[in-house]
Structures are given as structure tokens and as C-alpha cells.
Amino acid sequence: MERRLLLASSNAGKLRELRELLVPLGWEALAPADVGLAGVSVVEGGRSYLENATLKAVAYLRASGLPALADDSGIEVDVLGGGPGVLSARFGGHRARSDHERCELLLRRMRGVPPTRRGARFRAVVVLALPGGRTVVREGSVEGRITPHPRGGSGFGYDPVFELPDGRTMAEVGGEKQRISHRARALSAMMEALEALDEPDTPDAGDRRPGR
């Protein structure tokens, strides 16, 4: 029997990726709009991915009564001291309202930085909030570097400017992203806990430690 899980996000790109990862595993992955919660707004004011993901997951659990899965993620650039990090979606403030504008702003900040110093990583923290107040946390990351120019037509966010060790940007890998991305790795680590929802007394269901 298909199991229902609420995805605590209004980001179309994230919803698409999460659904593609969960549906083959037997989950009915619901968007907030599917359960009448399109108007729910969560202020992501946390100082870490974990804080923001937990805020979202718990808010949607309380609003729906369904297990809720949320992620917070960002790009961390070495020469920017790990920034924009948790502020990735708000990088540039009102001056950068779209993914394209945020990528362009990042490239301007990186202008003149040699290839050997353009190291970066995508990082994601996924939080599963369960009825009864339990939460499960898992994390995933992928290493790479910032390109001089955007490349590729798939993905979203900073994908066109993030180059993997094999030379392709995340926007050039197509469907393979569902296996190698930071979000895919975090969600893969979460699968054991998701399967344990059928066994409510299992110890892992209440594990709040960051995953592998």
C-alpha cells in the first residue's frame, strides 16, 4: 500500500526531485497544495541547515498531521568562507531575485579567482518530522568547484555553475543528478528511517543524529 508523506517545500525544483526519488519506493509524495496547505509560510530564520529544515518539517507536520519531510541546502564556497551557505536562496537579497541572478552574482564575486582556489560543495540536511514529536536527521554533500561561466540546461539553483570532479556541471548530468546530488545522498541515508515508519517502535525512527 502506498504511504503518504508531505514534502515541506513550495520550491518546484525541489518538489520534482524529491518526488522522483520517493515515488519509486512506494511513497505518495504530497506537495503542500495537495493537502490544502499552499498558504503555509515558514520563516527560515535559522542559523544552520538543520534549524531551517526542522522548522519547516515540524510546521508542516503540525498543520497536516502527516509525516513531513523538509530539507535545507546550500552551496559553500571555500574562498567565501563557506558562503553563501545557509543564505544561498537569499544570496544578494532583493538585488538577486532569480536563480540566474544569484549565479551571476556568485560568478562576479569569484572573478579573478584561479581554478585551484574555486573549491565548493553542495550540502543538504533532510529532516523527517513524525507524529509524537520525533525527528530524524540525515545529511549529504558533494564536492566540486565553481565554474567561470554557467553550463548546462537542467537542474535549478546553482547547478549551472557547480562543476563536479568529472568536469560536468550539475546542470549537465541530467537524470543522473537523482543519484549523485547532495539531496539524493541525504535522502538515500534517510531511506532506512522512512521504511521504519511501518514499525513505530523501532529505535531508528527517533534518531536525531546527523546521518552518514
What's the grid cell of residue 78? 571555500
Please list, in sequence order, all residues whose beta carbon lies within 8 angstroms of the beta carbon of residue 116, skipping any fewer than 6 positions away. none
Unique residue bearing C-alpha cell 525512527: 205
Cis peptide before 84 (omega within 30 of 0): yes
Return the C-alpha torsion angle 192, 195, 60, 142, nearest 10. 30
CB-facing half-sphere around the CA of 127: CA atoms within 13 A: 25
Cα dihedral 97/99/103/106 (nearest 10)? 50
Active-site positions read 72
CA torsion through residues 142, 101, 84, 125, sign: negative
Q: How many CB atoms lie within 10 A of CB 121?
A: 17
